[in-house]
Amino acid sequence: MNKRWRIPWWFALLILASLNACSLLTIERITPIEDEVQGFEATVDALKGQIDRQDDMVSYMATQVSLLATENAQFSSLISYLATRGPASGTAVVTPPETNAALVSGEVVIEDGSCCVGATAGDDIEITVRFSASGRQAPVTEMRYKVGGFADLEQGFYTEPWGLFREQLTFTYRVPINWTGFYVRVQYRDSLGNLSPIYTDDISVEGAPPTPTPGG
């Protein structure tokens, strides 16, 4: 009876080997899937890192753009200031083709050659201008002039009427905010009709902001 149900040793070994084979097959099938999942997670982490670095770069570039915009605004303000300030360094001379500079000469000087004047923006100030001229063949009897900003002088100067020669004139100027330029352009003529060169002088005018009133 006992001999009939005894399992041969070689059969037990066969069953054990089969179980080990199934176990190995299962492990071999599971291991590649786990490797793929880990590889995918590593790729996702790498992409996240690249995106974070790109975000940092975009933020840095936005900061640089903002700084450049601020610098450009500062340069624009400086250029505008220098363009309007232009302290007088002497009388500028523009000689038209019809002028005989050897026969009539002269100059124009604003505020005795000062570079600047100033007041509170909106106030009226008086600016004194001295004129001088002499002729070799005849006395200087007339002059034509124009005052204002530099652009104003370029328009219609030759259509200005001739008037009697004056050694000094005082002009009223309403001061704008910030720095501006006040220009004078003049040409002289003697009694024989001989013309001088065109002379220009300028002075810088600073308009200070009004002082706030208490409780205003």
**19-38 residue pLDDT tens:** 655 555 455 555 566 666 67
Sheet holding 104-110, edge to edge: 104-110, 124-135, 168-174
- In DSSP terms, 170 is beta-bridged to 128
**CA angle in degrees (0–180, nearest 5) for 89-90-92:** 115
Cα separation, 9 vs 135, in Å, equals: 143
Cα separation, 189 vs 173, in Å, equals: 27
* 203 has pLDDT over 80: yes
Q: Are 160 and 144 in contact (CB under 8 A)?
A: yes
Provide the percentage of residues in the chain whose pLDDT is more than 90. Answer: 43
Mean pLDDT of 122-137: 95
Position with higher pLDDT, 166 vs 32: 166
The per-residue pLDDT of the chain, averaged, comes to: 78
Mean pLDDT of 177-194: 95
DSSP β-ladder status, 116-120 and 92-94: unpaired
pTM over 0.75: no
Among residues 147, 126, 137, 146, which one has the least CA distance to residue 191?
137
- Which tokens go with 139? 């006395």
Burial class (CB in 10 A: 0-12, 13-18, 19+), 183: buried
* Cα separations in angstroms, 161 against 39, 72, 157, 191: 91, 44, 9, 16
Position with higher pLDDT, 11 vs 184: 184
Among residues 175, 178, 149, 144, which one has the least CA distance to residue 160?
144
Reported confidence tier of residue 12, pLDDT bands at 50, 70, 90:
low
